[in-house]
Amino acid sequence: MISVTKAQLDALADRYNRPAFIPHDPISLPHAFEDRRDREIIGFWTAVLAWGQRKTILNKSLELVELMGGEPYRFITEHHPEDRDRFADWKHRTFNFEDTRYFLEWLQRYYREHDSLEEAFARHLTPEDEDIENALRGFHDDFFSLPDAPRRTRKHIATPTRKSRCKRLCMFLRWMVRRDENGVDFGDWSNISPAQLCLPLDVHVERVARQFGLLTRKQCDWLAVKELTANLRSFDAEDPARYDFALFGLGVMKGEGLAGE
């Protein structure tokens, strides 16, 4: 185990939290859009698909954009049910046409009543909540509230209720909530505080966090997310998720600079 200081973590976060991070990361897809609603829609969907090789994730998400005619918000709000048939041959790993049809239906119903996906998360959260746990629980329950919600699709939207790490939703919320001058995260949403964000705990983050002594829980579950986030909050209580860049970046770079930083 290697002990780590705030200065070291800050330096690592600054190394990877820069525009050069964007092109090869799933966040590059929502960066292609100026309209916040387009970013929300394709950002949410890209985050949900974010497992497997990053190149494949990017290609599959780009196919989604193309099937929406390059205008996610316009397609979501204006398409007719029969237009969903164009997605019949599109899939990503276990995410298939049945899942896609439900996502399209839910998003259309939601955006015809709301201007931003932020409310779907923020309405379940109060300023007194330490983190986004209640937002994740509430969003999951709302997302599957339609009477025709397929049981199989539930595996694609995680919830702390199932003790899931909720890695992909934590990542999406980081994209939309965090704000700084570095140009990677969007900071489009203001009703969730960056202080409430949790770390997206993937295999890279887990490995480096354990090496740094920031994570000791054996199970890689929601309680592990809370432990890691709490430890990082001791370095920056207002923006613990900034250290996602440090841990993920270092992990993806296969340990470059891990010793002696």
Per the rule left: phi > 0, alpha: psi between -120 and 50, beta: everything else, 51 is beta
Count up the domains in the chain and report the number: 1
| pLDDT for 258 beyond 80 | no
Q: At what angle do helices 203-211 and 222-233 cross, to 10 degrees?
A: 50
Phi, psi of 95 (to 5 degrees): -85, 110
Tokens of 103: 């996502």
Is residue 151 pLDDT above 60, yes or no? yes
Nearest Cα neighbor of 137 from 150, 119, 121, 151 is 121
* pLDDT at 257 > cutoff 80: no
261 occurs within a structural domain: no
For residue 163, the enclosing domain spans: 6-252
Q: What is the DSSP letter of 201?
A: -
Q: Which residues fall within 8 angstroms of residue 188, CB to CB, at 6 or more apart?
A: 36, 39, 40, 118, 176
Q: Is 253 exposed, middle or buried (0-12, 13-18, 19+ CB in 10 A)?
A: middle
pLDDT, position 78: 98
For residues 28 and 23, give the distance between their C-alpha atoms in angstroms, rounded to a whole number.
5
Is the pTM here over 0.85, yes or no? yes
Residue 78 in any domain: the answer is yes
1 belongs to a structural domain: no
Examine the pLDDT at 256 and tell me if it is beyond 60.
Answer: no
> Which pLDDT does position 260 carry in this prediction?
29
- Judged against a pLDDT cut of 90, whether residue 254 lies above it is answered with no
* Band (25; pLDDT cuts 50, 70, 90): very high
Residue 128 within any structural domain of the chain: yes
Domain membership of residue 124 (yes or no) is yes
- For residue range 161-207, what is the model confidence (pLDDT) as tens digits? 999 999 999 999 999 999 999 999 999 999 999 999 999 999 999 99
Beta-carbon contacts of 104 under 8 Å, excluding residues fewer than 6 positions away, are 76, 79, 84, 87
**260: enclosing H helix or E strand:** none
Q: pLDDT tens, 42-95?
A: 999 999 999 888 899 999 999 999 999 999 999 999 999 999 999 999 999 999
- 122: pLDDT strictly greater than 70: yes
| Percentage with pLDDT > 90 across the chain | 92
Domain assignment present for residue 182? The answer is: yes
Any alpha helices (H) in the chain, and if so which ranges? Answer: 6-16, 36-48, 54-67, 72-78, 97-111, 118-122, 133-143, 167-177, 203-211, 222-233, 243-252
In a domain, 257, yes or no: no
pLDDT in tens, 207-234: 999 999 999 999 999 999 999 999 999 9
Helix-, strand-, coil-residue percentages of the chain, each rounded to 5: 55, 0, 40
Residue 90 domain-assigned (yes or no): yes
